[in-house]
Structure 1
Amino acid sequence: MYLRPGSQADINHLTLKNATVGMLIDSNAGGAMKIRNTQIYDCSNVGILARTATIEGSNIVINSTGQFDVALTKGGTYNFTHCTFNNNWPGNNPLALLVQNYQEYSNAPTDFYPMTANFNNCIIFGNNQIEMALDLKNDIQPVYKFTNCLIKFNNINNQFTNNPFYDFTVAEHYLNNKINTGSSVTNAFVPDFLDVDTNKLNIGDNSAAKGLAEPSFSALFPLDILNKDRATSPDSGAYESVIFEN
């Protein structure tokens, strides 16, 4: 699905499978692209590829992509609420999320773009140690924030220890999140998906996302992707938790 520059749309209840790039949203700044109650699975490259786009996304589920579930490139304005981005594509390179505010020419970043990216009550997970990349340059100060999200980020080789973009203690950028670092203390921070291999990303009663959501954001989207009412203690991600039957 290619949405050309200047396109505006309200995409609702879409299921998209087995693409190379599920959605390419190109330069629609000025009018928000709404994506709601949408499932994207098994894309060989990217689930949603955005370039200088404006997207309001809610109740989106993406699983298993060859590069990124969501790639936000060349800046833009993005608000994702109650979304589940999980990448279980085989290999060490695929990630759930890329946020990037520049474009490279001859392997050097030369064009920089304003970036605003907010993730509220989301799950960002997968089978790799780290499932998000904030590839941001300071030429134009990026605005980004993760609020009440469940995130997989195991800084196993300490390569990001001094990177300010991954300082999860800074409330300006990270607030009330649960970070799965792979350690024995936080290894319980797992989504408890029903079956990732068959794209069933419903969460169980033991999910770390249960009760994690910020209610003020949930009030904006009171029904989950299955039209289940979000209770007074809502769950992060696109699905409200259920008790799985054996």
Structure 2
Amino acid sequence: MRYFITLLICIALISMSSCRKDFSTVPSFGSLEFSKDTVFLDTVFTNIGSATYNLKVYNRGNKAITIPKITLENGSTSNYRLNVDGIPGKEFNDIDILAKDSIYVFVETTIDESTISDPLYTDRILFDNGANQQDVDLVTLVQDAYFIFPERDPITMKIDSLTIDGQATTIKGRYLTDTELIITKEKPTVIYGYAAVPANKTLTIEAGAKVYFHNNSGLIIDDKATLKVNGTLNEKVVFEGDRLEHRFNQTPGQWGTIWMRAGSKDNEVYHAQIKNGIIGILIDSIGSDTNPTLKLQNTEIYNHSNFGILARETNIEAHNVVIGAAGEASLAATIGGTYNFTHSTFANFWNNGIRQLPAVLVNNFFTYNDANGQEITETRALNAANFTNCIFGGNNNIEFVLDKVDGSLFNYNISNCMIQFNDASDSFTDVVELDFENNTNYQNIILNGFANFRDSQNEDFIIGQDSDAINKAKTTSFSFDILGIVRTTNPDIGAYQSITFE
């Protein structure tokens, strides 16, 4: 028994000592320093949680201090949430900081726009009180929005998935109702999961509209359905991820794709910006030589983790198009089809890893494994791959490839284009489709010229006065560039007329 009592006393002493501070502090006296005097939480949508922001609080003194109180000025009613040195809450007492040390304060918010009188929502973090009180401002802009999201089973709570062609899929989403088939600029539209346009219906997106996609979300234009994007020069339609914080401005892969399925028809995308997804546009529709599946005009497609456009046996007619960085190819026109691009700029300066494909890849085949595991290659007709007045550039040596497998048509014509093609290893010497001196298929080609882009790393592909593309395009019916600038009698190659950089 004596040993048992002794053991209990030892445990109690250890417990008491473990709860004691091993340092002494003095009260804070209003000399805290902060990593910033205002924490700006970038724009958030109503009822959607923000990212987490951090604030560092410094004790520059030679003694450890105790901050008697840290709180939000609006108290428990504040829409902000704090985490002080690992502890969540809205009010904290007796927070210690060692000499010459610091602590972190993390800030988040979720705000219902209908409960606030001003979309610019503010509060303050108060440190200490009385004469020693210091503060840091919190500022958030709140946007109201329309939300489109899949239903959830009330019993299992499982999110609904799409049924496509009569088959259940694992794609989270739902078909749009008739009342959702017009998207305006009145409020942003935020899409969770995939919003699908039903057969024989048209989704119209009006000038100035902004469409934001959550992670693993996008649009599906189903068989016999149509997408009309009616942006204008002064009111572009924007498609991007729903993370509006500045640090997500150039983060690829934030959402899925705009998928035009086989059989979708008469799609038109005019004056749009499509950025930061996995694939900007995935188009499977089998069109015809005379009726494009997609008309694409005055549109910018930037910073996608896989492809800017992945086209498979389809028909695209495009002019004044800019397709920038993508993890694989800016444009992959595959499995044959019909492609007509005029005054377009393909510039792939991907900097998030090694890129294996050129900026533009055109082929007429696909491969698959049969039931015996044998790889099978099938070809499809490339009715046309016509590129006129286009720039093909990027940070790889080879930025334009035609990849033909015998067995189907392979028609192409490249006219008045500037092509980056430095075949230092002679890998393509015997590829007849890449014989740039073949005047039947190539006319007036500038090989490895200087594009003089204004800021390629930030997807700014306006060309300057030193560009080799100036006055080298042929005259076409497209008399204005993507910015609405009149093309001269001797226009410039690419989507932009040249300017003088300041």
Correspondence for 1:223 among 460, 471, 480:
480
What is the CA–CA distance in structure 2 between the aligned matches of 1:223 and 1:238, rounded to whole Å?
9
Relative to the length of structure 1, the TM-score reads: 0.92
Quick one: which amino acid aligns to residue 422 of structure 2? Answer: N
- Equivalent pair of 1:148/1:178 in contact (CA under 8 Å): yes
Identity of aligned residues (%): 41
Q: Which residue of 1 aligns with 2:280?
A: 22
**Aligned pairs (5 A) from 1:93-242:** 93-106=356-369, 108-115=375-382, 116-180=384-448, 189-215=449-475, 217=476, 220-242=477-499
**Offset at residue 97 of structure 1 (A):** 0.4
Number of residue-to-residue matches in the alignment:
234
Correspondence for 1:69 among 317, 330, 333:
330
What is the CA–CA distance in structure 2 between the aligned matches of 1:45 and 1:223, rounded to whole Å?
30
- Equivalent pair of 2:328/2:355 in contact (CA under 8 Å): no
Q: Which residue of 2 aligns with 1:183?
A: none
- Equivalent pair of 2:344/2:494 in contact (CA under 8 Å): yes
What is the CA–CA distance in structure 2 between the aligned matches of 1:233 and 1:212, rounded to whole Å?
7
**Offset at residue 177 of structure 1 (A):** 0.8
Q: Which residue of 2 aligns with 1:55?
A: 316
3-state secondary structure, aligned to 2:424: coil
User: Aligned pair 1:13/2:271, yes or no?
Assistant: yes
Q: Provide Cα deviations, 1:73-100, integer angstroms capped at 9, x if missing partner.
A: 1100010000000011132424210101
Q: Which residue of 2 aligns with 1:78?
A: 339
What is the CA–CA distance in structure 2 between the aligned matches of 1:89 and 1:12, rounded to whole Å?
25
- Equivalent pair of 2:296/2:321 in contact (CA under 8 Å): yes
What is the CA–CA distance in structure 2 between the aligned matches of 1:21 and 1:63, rounded to whole Å?
12
Higher relative contact order (CA 8 A, sep 6+): 1
**Offset at residue 141 of structure 1 (A):** 3.1
Q: Provide Cα deviations, 1:191-217, integer angstroms capped at 9, x if missing partner.
A: 1000011111000011111111011x2
Q: Which residue of 2 aligns with 1:185?
A: none
What is the CA–CA distance in structure 1 between the aligned matches of 2:440 and 2:310, rounded to whole Å?
26
- Equivalent pair of 1:194/1:202 in contact (CA under 8 Å): yes
Q: Provide Cα deviations, 1:210-234, integer angstroms capped at 9, x if missing partner.
A: 111011x2xx111000000000110
Query: 5+ residue gaps in structure 2?
Result: 1-257
What is the CA–CA distance in structure 2 between the aligned matches of 1:66 and 1:92, rounded to whole Å?
6
Please say which of residues 106-115 and 21-30 is displaced more in the overlay: 106-115
**Offset at residue 169 of structure 1 (A):** 0.8
What is the CA–CA distance in structure 2 between the aligned matches of 1:197 and 1:109, rounded to whole Å?
40
**Offset at residue 242 of structure 1 (A):** 0.6
**Offset at residue 5 of structure 1 (A):** 1.5
3-state secondary structure, aligned to 1:39: strand
Q: Which residue of 2 aligns with 1:243?
A: 500
Relative to the length of structure 2, the TM-score reads: 0.46
What is the CA–CA distance in structure 2 between the aligned matches of 1:190 and 1:128, rounded to whole Å?
14
Quick one: which amino acid aligns to residue 110 of structure 1? Answer: T
What is the CA–CA distance in structure 2 between the aligned matches of 1:108 and 1:141, rounded to whole Å?
22
What is the CA–CA distance in structure 1 between the aligned matches of 2:259 and 2:316, rounded to whole Å?
14
- Equivalent pair of 1:87/1:94 in contact (CA under 8 Å): no
Quick one: which amino acid aligns to residue 161 of structure 1? Answer: T
Larger Rg: 2
**Offset at residue 190 of structure 1 (A):** 1.1
What is the CA–CA distance in structure 1 between the aligned matches of 2:378 and 2:311, rounded to whole Å?
16
3-state secondary structure, aligned to 2:324: strand
3-state secondary structure, aligned to 2:479: coil
Please give the root-mean-square deviation of Cα atoms over the aligned residues, in Å: 1.2
Please say which of residues 191-200 and 2-11 is displaced more in the overlay: 2-11
Q: Provide Cα deviations, 1:28-52, integer angstroms capped at 9, x if missing partner.
A: 3123010000001100000011111
**Offset at residue 139 of structure 1 (A):** 1.1
What is the CA–CA distance in structure 1 between the aligned matches of 2:471 and 2:333, rounded to whole Å?
28
Quick one: which amino acid aligns to residue 66 of structure 1? Answer: G
Query: 5+ residue gaps in structure 1?
Result: 181-188
